[in-house]
Structure 1
Amino acid sequence: MRNTMILLCLLIGITASAQKPVTKGVQLDLTKVSNLQIKTAITALQNNDARTWFSLFTPNVIFCYDGYQTSFKGFFRKSFGHEHFTSIDRVENNGLDIYGSFHSDQWGDFKTYFKFQLNKSGKIWRLDVGQAAY
């Protein structure tokens, strides 16, 4: 009986760790995202994990929203818990450019792009975000 309980606990733990990111009941399929660093970033955004999200970026990250440079930390501090992808529709540029449907509590649902640039050490040094037309 004890061995059965241990096995059951292990199986539950393995299953839980393999689950897709969930935000407000939306399970996001990240299988299209081939770049591990970007997959980690999108997972952090989906799971409202600001600590992980911010740790993936350089201290002086350049952030452009709809073509205008703005405060990266200010923008995303307001976004966590209120904005998330609802689908990943297309991935380009070796897994660095993500296109998908997005939900914002303030602005509703729309298509978006997140274009990441990595430095040689794998940190994200630039992120461009905006509405996409595809």
Structure 2
Amino acid sequence: MSVTPTDPAVRALVDAVNAGDRTAFLDLLTPGATLSDDGTERDLQQWIDREIFHANGRMDVLSETDGGRSLTADFRNDTWGAMRTSWRFTVDDGGKIRRITTGQA
């Protein structure tokens, strides 16, 4: 059974991923938002295109901590298949995501 993140920005981001809605995803980010994948800094826009939007990425959230800003999810895409992943989000005072940290769980 999928868990719905309690943090509104994170919940909207997961919804955008699962809807394949790149525009909605980007609207949730601060200017200059950053991303780290398995400890390596990545170009956020290139990464989301390669791993999510051009590869039919989907997230099934299994659990959350930190008020919904840390997730464990089954993530799958057409490139890598399915894997258990962890996601941490830094959300600013205005409710925009400024940092995404992801990797295998």
TM superposition score normalised by structure 1: 0.72
Higher relative contact order (CA 8 A, sep 6+): 2
Partner Cα separation in structure 1 for residue 85 and residue 12 of structure 2:
18
> Does residue 73 of structure 2 align to residue 100 of structure 1?
yes
Unaligned runs of 5+ residues in structure 2 are: none
Q: How does 1:1-134 map to 2 (within 5 A)?
A: 29-31=2-4, 33-78=5-50, 79-82=52-55, 83-85=57-59, 87-132=60-105
Tell me, what secondary structure is at the counterpart of 2:71? strand
- Structure 1 stretches of at least 4 aligned residues deviating more than 6 Å after TM superposition: none
TM superposition shift of 1:81: 4.7
Q: Which has the higher strand share?
A: 2
Partner Cα separation in structure 1 for residue 19 and residue 3 of structure 2:
13
Structure whose CA Rg is larger: 1
TM superposition shift of 1:124: 0.5
TM superposition score normalised by structure 2: 0.90
Aligned length: 103
